[in-house]
Structure 1
């Protein structure tokens, strides 16, 4: 009986769950090729998983592989499509999954030398003096900040931090730091003090009402909307108030398009009043 899971075993169990979840068929070959191990070792990892969760998987003779049962509940990490694609393409024999392509951000990658101090401050909850440039202040200037979270908005990386210059929590773009950093002691503010970070909002979206019924149905499918009792489609998305503008930009509802096919979705009128205090 397994009493302790080391890091390697957790990675293998996470991989097992991803394959079962997304491909609906797990074989020893999946594990062999991804981790570059023998068939017997791959088989042992499956058996070890089954010892812990005997009701999660069942062997299907016709498909010659394991499938999830109705009791299957993933235990070892995120199961979203992005995680599946990212992890399955990391294998030593990654050509097995070479029919997947993920778009990367077209912007310049973050320079580790410019943000190592930020990462250190995050890890150790420190208050730091850093050099930062912005559109309003294009020359690098000293900022004393207390960072508490890294945020990726789909294009750029930001750090959420308390800024002593502005006496408030702000988002700082990672590529705008100059790499100079001085420790100023323990952070005096963290995410518990960040009201916008702690505030949860509900963003309601629905198809643009100018679309025909058939086109609205397709847009609803794209955005996983549910059909309401009145026949309309809608989806509610939870988001931190501090990240609201990033979500609106991702959904492309931060601006209005004259063409309904270009607009596709709108914010539900009944949620707008609640979001107004957090919008520019």
Structure 2
């Protein structure tokens, strides 16, 4: 008989950590081996085997063992043993943390952050992350601003927090180019078995791979005491030097209200920063949302607009 939640709560904190790790990896990668446990927790194979057996006692339908490659795989009946908070999990994924410990009541620190207005479905995120890690295409049901709801085949390669919302960067087989898809507008994800082509892969996403140097300075017209802004952003010699992916530059500039006009002409207290080297933006896409930036070469998909 499967163990219940009351019995789960009686486990030691260390046991919960190991089971939460198994649960997290199954959810977001779709598979794991005993070596994943031994490497993560510096334990022997026998102890790893006991933990896997214990996980099965709580969730026997969550995994199946492939004897040929000694790997445990997520089943179609998979239901997480722990509740993985969407906000915390997205932050962990963004910082390459794969422990799932927050689901068992990790240490709480007295720090608060403003709540986001939108939170993606954790299972949508999980299926996309699995596709990225396993280099597979997916079919999605997506609702865009321009064409409403419809099915699309994409090849995802990154999950991105643009400061206001989360999106997945992917090659869109319909338009045959790389685009950003807002996670909350994806209502269904279905894995596809066919392989991806080279032109669909991350290394061919030139806007993603191009790193752009940005030089941010206190706004020369709107700021009376620039030293305050220099202290806010830890500027060195009055300049904050950043290196940003071309695909993400527009989001950053919009989020921080950076004046990108050629001669710092935007007025208002919200424009505290100015992009000193505006010519660096030449050739970058998704700049229609960059404050004050105008270029004949600037392109933006309706899916990328705020």
Normalising by the residue count of structure 2, what TM-score does the alignment of the two structures yield? 0.55
Q: Which residue of 2 aligns with 1:192?
A: 203
Tell me: CA distance 1:115–1:212, structure 2 relative to 1, closer, same or farther (3 Å): closer
Within the alignment, does 1:272 sit opposite 2:278 as a pair? yes
The SS at the match of 1:262 is coil
CA contact (8 A) 1:117 1:179 kept: no
Decide whether aligned partners of structure 1 residues 125 and 208 sit closer, same or farther in structure 2, where only a CA change above 3 A counts.
same
The change in CA–CA distance for 1:111 and 1:226 in structure 2 (over 3 A counts) is: same
Deviations 1:149-206 (A, max 9, x none): 1111122111111111111111111111121424151122211011111101011110
Q: Corresponding residue for 1:230?
A: none
Counting only pairs closer than 5 Å after superposition, residues 165-244 of structure 1 correspond to structure 2 as: 165-188=174-197, 189-211=200-222, 215-227=225-237, 233-244=238-249
- Does residue 97 of structure 2 align to residue 122 of structure 1? no
Cα deviation for residue 104 of structure 1 reads: 3.2
SS at match of 1:114: helix
Match of 1:246 in 2: 251
Aligned residues: 191
SS of the equivalent of 1:248 reads: helix
Q: Quick one: distance in 2 between partners of 1:143 and 1:93?
A: 38
Cα gap change, 1:254/1:208 in structure 2, threshold over 3 Å: closer, same or farther?
closer
Ranges in structure 2 where 5+ consecutive residues have no aligned partner: 1-37, 43-94, 288-297, 299-306
Q: Counterparts of 1:245 and 1:207 in 2: how far apart (Å)?
A: 19
Query: For residues 105 and 121 of structure 1, do their structure 2 counterparts lie closer, same or farther at Cα, with a shift above 3 Å needed?
Result: same
Q: 1:275 to 1:128 in 2, by over 3 A?
A: same
Which residues in structure 2 correspond to 1:9-28 (within 5 Å)?
Answer: none
The 3-state SS of whatever aligns with 2:278 is helix
Structure 1: any 5+ residue segments left out of the alignment? 10-81, 228-232
CA gap of 1:90–1:121, structure 2 versus 1, over 3 A, is: closer
Could you say if the C-alpha distance between residues 190 and 254 of structure 1 is closer, same or farther in structure 2, counting changes exceeding 3 Å?
A: farther
Match of 1:150 in 2: 159
Aligned equivalent of 1:7, options 40, 43, 46: 40
Inter-partner Cα distance in structure 1 for 2:189 and 2:103: 33
Aligned: 1:106 with 2:117: yes
Report deviation, 1:121.
Answer: 1.3
Distance change (3 Å), C-alpha of 1:93 and 1:199: closer
Give the TM-score normalised by the residue count of structure 1: 0.60
